[in-house]
Chains A and B, each alone.
Chain A
Amino acid sequence: MPASLAPAHNTGNPIAVEMRGLNKWYGEFHVLRDINLTVRKGERLVICGPSGSGKSTMIRCINRLEEHQTGTLMVDGIELTNDVRNIDAIRREVGMVFQQFNLFPHLTVLENLTLAPIWVRKVPKKEAEEAAMYYLERVKIPEQAAKYPGQLSGGQQQRVAIARSLCMKPKIMLFDEPTSALDPEMIKEVLDVMVELAREGMTMLCVTHEMGFAREVADAIIFMDRGEIVESAPPSTFFANPRTDRLKLFLSQILRGH
């Protein structure tokens, strides 16, 4: 195994995300079927599965970009209900990185990073800018602070997006296929940032098909298909001993490409 992290001894840690019997429908279409999932603080979870299996929908439920219909969802000890205050409280603690970066194109990189801390966390502007520069150093592009997102490469944009989330000092980070829209040569620079984040003990839920990344940092990998969690295992068993045919088929398809 490559320079792997210390194995997860997180079983005693408090729970960061907990889903109990979660169900969601789009009209007639049953997207999420009876999802049960526990993620403890400091744990790194990788989620994979075929297209349309409900991966995005599931992690987007965690910060209420999607609404679940039945079951309970606890995030950082707060139950997600229709209560707007709970939703706001959870969104402050949960960062999200999107496949399409979703930077704000009319603001400079620095403004992208300081906007939420200033307006949501009420951090003084100067302090917010210092923090922003610190995170830009972390993602290795401090020299781009004054540029606009449209002037950056995809990999740089995605690193800015990660830094933007980190500026809110989140307790949990969600990644939805952060490298899927990137050219191959830019994937590594983004993954490097994510690996480092994992090393520092960030709680991460990451939808990705980067199996190298999963091997290196994940405490557990879950495989979703047709709205269900089909398998859940630490990386070693996940790749070596897939139990279901669905996962075997999926792995054969995905690993062939690499």
Chain B
Amino acid sequence: MANGRVAAVSLPADRPVAHGFLSRALLWARANLFSSWLNSVLTLVLAYFLAKGLISFVSWAFIDAIWSLPTQDTRPCRDARAESACWALIGERNRFILFGTYPFEEQWRAALAVGVFLALYGLSTVRAFWNFRLVVIWTVGLAAIGVLMWGGVFGLAYVEQEKWGGLPLTLILATFGIAFAFPLSILVALGRRSAMPAVRMICVTYVELIRGVPLISVLFMASVMFPLFLPEGITIDKLLRAQVAIILFAAAYLAEVVRGGLQAIPKGQYEAADALGLGYWRKTGLIILPQALRICIPPLVNTFIGLFKDTSLVTIIGLYDLLGAAKASIVEPRWVGFGVEAYMFISLIYFIFCFAMSKYSQGLEVEFSRHTKR
């Protein structure tokens, strides 16, 4: 590999200027990577470590990796622990990581539920559906997911919520988290700017209180302390409590993001809407929010992504979401010690979702900014 590095540097510097990609790349490299001898040394040293790291990763993860095991015995993987990834773990345990303790023969239902989620996300990006149709689509979709996951109707066996796990659980927590936290945050942000002091105070207190504590403690409170306050005999299941905790937590952060957007709207927009007699809710819904939310797409999506990953904290209160299931998949003595593979597998899944969100928001931003330059 050292060859490539040397070759790049030792090309004659005074070659005639060609306009091909390669020559432009070389010009760029000379200007940015080899502009002085100190810069050149740093480039070479860094390139060396990067290449070394990359090579050992590629050979660990792909070239020398063990993709399957001939028998139940995991010793081949253990013997080659240092130089080979053991993807046989994923091959054997992927169903458990993806669906947790959901009954094995029924896991097609959980898989289908994930499929419905993906379809819902996909349809939501189609602008032609951005009206009442989206509400219908989501209502139908979520109902279908409920039926698939719970069962008990249409000849599907009933599966109690304690058995749900893996990716469907993560998607449920994240989707409902965003779907409820976002509207709530808009109300809170509007409330902070309300003319009524009591409303303002409630909203400020809520935001400051929630922002002042870690999500983990909110989850603990929801799972341990909250039931203590409920009257005897009434229980709210753990998943719902965690879901509410996530919603309340995310809404506080989102509210601050939305408030930032609201503050960027000039006074003249409010006045023009007032002068037309639109009234508070129409002014807010038709004039102010559409502009404010567009401005804060990047920080909003940032918070959504944070929320998506924060759902993994529910492992701490004993829910088997994607992370929890990954952790549980290597509890079995045969697989103890193969955490890296399990975590890399779920990291890839988290990454795909977060990256998709990020890309979509970038597209949205470009689209919105096309006409509305001020």
Q: Which residues of A contact B (CB under 8 A)?
A: 63-65, 88, 91-92, 94-96, 98, 100, 102-106, 108, 115-116, 119-120, 147-148, 150-151, 164-165, 168
B94 at the interface (CB under 8 A from A): no
B193 at the interface (CB under 8 A from A): no
CB-nearest residue of chain A relative to B277?
A91
B277→A100 contact, CB < 8 A? no
B286→A150 contact, CB < 8 A? no
* 8 additional A-B residue pairs with CB within 8 Å, beyond A96-B271, A106-B372: A63-B275, A91-B276, A103-B272, A104-B287, A106-B291, A106-B368, A120-B276, A120-B277
State the CA gap A92–B276 with chains docked (Å). Answer: 6
A92 surroundings in chain B (CB, below 8 A): 277
Q: What are some 24 contacts across the A-B interface (CB < 8 A)?
A: A65-B271, A65-B274, A65-B275, A91-B275, A91-B277, A98-B268, A98-B271, A102-B266, A102-B268, A104-B273, A106-B290, A106-B291, A106-B294, A106-B368, A115-B276, A115-B278, A116-B276, A119-B282, A120-B276, A120-B282, A148-B371, A148-B372, A150-B371, A150-B373
B252-301 residues at the A interface, CB under 8 angstroms: 266, 268-269, 271-279, 282, 286-287, 290-291, 294
CB-nearest residue of chain B relative to A91?
B277
State the CA gap A253–B287 with chains docked (Å). Answer: 40
A94 surroundings in chain B (CB, below 8 A): 275
State the CA gap A164–B273 with chains docked (Å). Answer: 11
Pairs of residues from A and B, 6 with the lowest C-beta to C-beta distance, nearest first? A91-B277, A102-B272, A148-B371, A102-B268, A116-B276, A96-B275
B275→A104 contact, CB < 8 A? no
CB-nearest residue of chain B relative to A121?
B277
B374 at the interface (CB under 8 A from A): yes
Q: Quote the shortest CB–CB distance from B297 to chain A (angstroms).
A: 13
A100 surroundings in chain B (CB, below 8 A): 266, 268
Q: Quote the shortest CB–CB distance from B195 to chain A (angstroms).
A: 12
A164 surroundings in chain B (CB, below 8 A): 276
B294 surroundings in chain A (CB, below 8 A): 106
Q: Quote the shortest CB–CB distance from A119 to chain B (angstroms).
A: 5
State the CA gap A94–B277 with chains docked (Å). Answer: 9
Q: Quote the shortest CB–CB distance from A32 to chain B (angstroms).
A: 18
B278 surroundings in chain A (CB, below 8 A): 115-116, 119-120
B282→A91 contact, CB < 8 A? no
B371 surroundings in chain A (CB, below 8 A): 108, 147-148, 150-151
State the CA gap A64–B271 with chains docked (Å). Answer: 10
B276 surroundings in chain A (CB, below 8 A): 91, 115-116, 120, 164-165, 168
State the CA gap A130–B373 with chains docked (Å). Answer: 27
State the CA gap A165–B371 with chains docked (Å). Answer: 23
State the CA gap A119–B279 with chains docked (Å). Answer: 10
State the CA gap A147–B370 with chains docked (Å). Answer: 11
B272 surroundings in chain A (CB, below 8 A): 96, 98, 102-104
Q: Quote the shortest CB–CB distance from A85 to chain B (angstroms).
A: 11
A106 surroundings in chain B (CB, below 8 A): 290-291, 294, 368, 372
